Amino acid sequence: MTLATVNKILSTEEALDIIDSAIKQSQAEGVFVSLSSSESALSRFSENQISQNIHKNRFNLTITSYFGQRSASASTTELDPDAISNTLRRCEDLARFAPEDPEWVELLSPQTYEDREPAFDLATANISPLTKGEMLEKVCTKAKQQGVNGSGTLSTNVSLNAVGNSLGLRACDRTTEADFSFTARIDNGSSWGRNTAIAIEQLPLLATTEKVIERAIASSNPQEIAPGDYTVIFEPSAMAGLLPWVIWNLDARAADEGRSFMSRSDEAGKPAGNRIGEQLFSPLVHIERNPNHPLLQSARFFGNGLPNGNLDIVKDGIPQTLSYSRYWAQQQQKTPTGGLSPIVMTGGNKTIADLISETEKGILVTRAWYVRYINPRTLEVTGMTRDGTFLIEQGKIAHPIKNLRFNQSLPEMLHNITDLSTTKRCGGSVIPGGKVNNFHFSSVTDSI
């Protein structure tokens, strides 16, 4: 038996050639083409044994044709030249009869992108199912030895994204990502951990496994405590379940139209601009968009072709910018920003253990789960703790506690941050753990 080890995604040259060919065939007044190609592989394990292997190759080409302020898009998942030509003709036919777009903006002119290559690890791109299976065998063996039920995933993803238009815009990036997620269950105890990295060799599989198993055992037989306002120590993974909600809601249009926690109102309650420049959060809060971060080294452009570079979002607790779409930037005479990701929040020099040792009474939260809006205008959310929640007394973990539901204003949470731990890559972000005063728990839950 021979195991295939070479990834099959397009090369940069092949991707740009396909985009060039589609643009040359266009009969529209303007055309924008986006292309994505990826190869993903996921190994799933449960009950301490591998249960599933999935391998996917994906290709997608989307063409948007413009006639004046009329436009339409069509997509294909086939590389065949005839399929691409048919897709082009179809979107042109639709564009001719589409209604005019009242928020139309002209095509993006050629952009200048950072002179760097996003991180691409060849070993991760070419790793075989057998090698991943051997890695997971060690994880499952350790779980068996400790008497816990282990489950989770180990995945890799190789992706290419490219864009181009009839004005000469061209951009293409390739990236790799590896991800390991592990949950350990024992009786009524549970814990979870996740690591994401550029390369699979950077994932601390066994160290993560050992920590999760230890915490799962420690979380058994939790006691119930009364809901209320507590000082909370958030692990980076728990903070990563909450902080992005704040960044997602830093939209300039929503703020200016009175639909955001960033909105200002006049005496009559009507929208009166936004709250950029106000001291909304703790002075410890520094957040930026930083695709150059060593743990990320992500793409240089967004899906619409705008450059993705470093951008201050919050400095010393004061919001510095909002996310401006090209249309809203044009209306407000601002520069379009593109999205505000990847999120990088500055941390401190302390460990989570340090934060715990300096806490007289509080709660340690490993994971924020099932977070949902209560009030988008104030950015109050609800959610639950999960996979290891502990009471802290006199600077030490006293005992595990039953999971709690929280109802909390996230801007208020950032305002109440009193200390931060070192940072960790969490998915596509880099985030520290944190100590927060007066975090509100509304009820006890039966979830494990």
- For residue 2, being part of any structural domain is answered with no
301 and 391 both lie in a single domain: no
Residues 304 and 396 reside in one and the same domain: no
Residue 282 lies in a domain: yes
| Residue type for position 17 | D
Residue 1 lies in a domain: no
Answer yes or no: is 6 within a domain. no
Angle at which helices 205-218 and 129-145 cross, to 10°: 30
What is the C-alpha to C-alpha distance for residues 135 and 137, in angstroms, rounded to an integer? 5
What are the C-alpha distances in Å from 385 to residues 9, 257, 368? Answer: 39, 34, 5
294 and 337 together in one domain: yes
**What is the tens place of the pLDDT at every residue in 98-115?**
999 999 999 999 999 999
Instruction: Examine the fold and report which residue of 314, 343, 372 is the final residue of a domain before the chain moves on.
Output: 343
How far, in Å, CA of 57 to CA of 157, rounded? 10
Say whether both 306 and 352 belong to one domain: no
10-residue averages of pLDDT along the chain (448 residues): 52 97 97 97 96 94 98 96 97 97 97 96 94 96 97 98 98 98 96 98 97 97 97 98 98 96 89 94 98 98 98 98 98 96 98 98 97 96 97 97 98 98 98 98 90
State how far the Cα of 314 lies from the Cα of 275, in Å rounded to an integer.
12
- CA torsion sign, 270 to 272 to 276 to 281? negative
Q: Are residues 52 and 166 in the same domain?
A: yes
Nearest to 247 by CA among 103, 442, 428, 438: 428
Same domain, 184 and 201: yes
The distance from CA 71 to its chain's CA centroid, rounded to whole angstroms, is: 30
Query: What is the C-alpha R_g of the chain?
Result: 24
Domain carrying residue 371: 222-243+347-444
Predicted pLDDT of residue 418: 98
Assign 3-class secondary structure to the chain: CCCCCCCCCCCHHHHHHHHHHHHHHCCCCEEEEEEEEEEEEEEEEECCEEEEEEEEEEEEEEEEEEECCEEEEEEECCCCHHHHHHHHHHHHHHHHHCCCCCCCCCCCCCCCCCCCCCCCCHHHHHCCHHHHHHHHHHHHHHHHHCCCEEEEEEEEEEEEEEEEECCCCEEEEEEEEEEEEEEEEECCEEEEEEEEECCHHHCCHHHHHHHHHHHHHHCCCCECCCCEEEEEEECHHHHCCCHHHHHHCCEHHHHHCCCCCCEEECCCCCEEEECCCCCCCCCCCCEEECCCCCCCCCCCECCCCCECCCEEEEECCEECCCECCHHHHHHHCCCCCCCCCCEEECCCCECHHHHHHCCCEEEEECCEEEEEEEECCCCEEEEEECCCEEEEECCEEEEEECCEEEEEEHHHHHHCEEEEEEEEEECCEEEEEEEEEEEEEEEECCCC
Which of 343, 371, 403 is the C-terminal boundary of a domain? Answer: 343
In a domain, 7, yes or no: no
**What phi, psi does 145 have (nearest 5°)?**
-60, -30
In a domain, 217, yes or no: no
The pLDDT tens digits of the residues spanning 196-215 come to 999 999 999 999 999 999 99
37 and 169 co-located in one domain: yes
117/69 same-domain check:
yes
Q: Can you state the angle between helices 81-97 and 12-25, rounded to 10 degrees?
A: 50
* Structure tokens that stand for 189 in this block: 């105890």
Residues 369 and 292 in one domain: no
Query: Does residue 5 lie within any of the structural domains?
Result: no
What is the reported pTM? 0.95
Query: Does one domain contain both 359 and 439?
Result: yes
Q: What is the pLDDT of residues 314-364, one digit of tens each?
A: 999 999 999 999 999 999 999 999 999 999 999 999 999 999 999 999 999
Per-residue pLDDT, 40: 96
Residue that terminates a domain, selected from 327, 343, 359? 343
Asked whether residue 415 is domain-assigned, the answer is yes
Residue 332 shares a structural domain with residue 187: no
- What pLDDT sits at residue 267? 84
CA distance 327 to 253: 10
Buried b (16+ CB within 10 A) or exposed e, 210-246: bebbebbbebeebeebeeeebbbbbbbbbbbbbbbbb
Whether 313 and 392 map to the same domain: the answer is: no
pLDDT of residue 3: 37
Whichever domain contains 167, its CATH number is: 3.30.2290.10
Tell me phi and psi for residue 419, to 5 degrees: -165, 160
Domain count, the chain: 3
For residue 404, the model assigns a pLDDT of 98
